[in-house]
Amino acid sequence: EADIYQTPRYLVIGTGKKITLECSQTMGHDKMYWYQQDPGMELHLIHYSYGVNSTEKGDLSSESTVSRIRTEHFPLTLESARPSHTSQYLCASSESEPIDGTDTQYFGPGTRLTVL
Amino acid sequence: AQSVTQLDSHVSVSEGTPVLLRCNYSSSYSPSLFWYVQHPNKGLQLLLKYTSAATLVKGINGFEAEFKKSETSFHLTKPSAHMSDAAEYFCVVTSYNQGGKLIFGQGTELSVKP
């Protein structure tokens, strides 16, 4: 079944640790996205990719980095986690509709990160 | 430029009564509009989308939304609320020239009382 997966679902980690949040999709989509969402707030785009070896920063500045070596995989890395990074991180993927060129994004379940 | 405003941060209804979640948008181009739902500690699930076809869009779980260009609105409705509808709802706008990027509203929390 085509889907989008994120691991881990929950992560509690100490300050200064390096972490990688995993995101994989089996839908064959070229475009992938990372969003950051604080409790009760809207989503903010922090990274996106239009395909392999393509990565761009989003609208919200983030200290995280991403890579896109394979179409299905879009991991997000924090080199040194801080309490200010505590948030929920949502991954999504999309492809353009052939009729009108717009995209529908499909979301993973999210990773809730807590940095102590 | 594009923007979306959800007019209510919180809506509370009784089970079995109608639901109305309001959304107004602004777009320099022909918009595509979406409603997503997010249950606690979950990702976002697509409820429905409008992409310049029929102005009344039917989605999953009995929800529907009507695109009104003259009012720049895309309100979400459901005739009869169910307890399982309690969640956060996001109105989203994009257009063909946004490269797939979405503009999210602030969200409306729907509570359903027994």
* Nearest chain B CA: its distance from A68 CA (Å): 17
Cα dihedral B101, A90, A61, A22 sign: negative
- Nearest residue in B to A98, CA atom: B96
pLDDT at B21 exceeding the cut of 70: yes
How far apart, in whole angstroms, are the C-alpha atoms of residue A115 and residue A21? 13
Residue A62 has what pLDDT?
85
Q: Where are the alpha helices (DSSP H) in A1-116?
A: none
Q: What is the share, in percent, of chain A residues with pLDDT greater than 70? A: 95
For residue A101, the number of C-alpha atoms closer than 13 Å in the C-beta half-sphere is 8
Mean pLDDT of all residues belonging to chain A? 91
Q: In which band, very low, low, confident or very high, does the pLDDT at B42 lie, cut at 50, 70 and 90?
A: confident
**pLDDT one-digit tens code per residue, B45-84:** 999 999 877 889 999 999 999 999 999 999 999 999 999 9
Residue B28 has what pLDDT?
81
Q: Does B64 touch chain A (CB under 8 A)?
A: no
How far apart, in whole angstroms, are the C-alpha atoms of residue B16 and residue B112? 9
Residue B54 has what pLDDT?
83
pLDDT at A95 exceeding the cut of 90: no
- Mean pLDDT for B7-27 is 96
Closest to B43 (Cβ–Cβ): which among A40, A90, A99?
A90
Instruction: Tell me the helices (H) and strands (E) count for chain A, helix number first.
Output: 0, 11
**pLDDT one-digit tens code per residue, A25-70:** 999 999 999 999 998 788 899 999 999 999 999 888 888 999 999 9
How far apart, in whole angstroms, are the C-alpha atoms of residue B81 and residue B90? 17
Q: Do B46 and A106 touch (CB under 8 A)?
A: yes
Nearest to A96 by CA among B11, B10, B51: B51
Q: Which residues of A touch B107 (CB under 8 A)?
A: 40-42
Q: In which band, very low, low, confident or very high, does the pLDDT at A2 lie, cut at 50, 70 and 90?
A: low
How far apart, in whole angstroms, are the C-alpha atoms of residue A44 and residue A34? 8
**pLDDT one-digit tens code per residue, A10-23:** 999 999 999 999 99
Here the tokens at position A4 are 């989008």
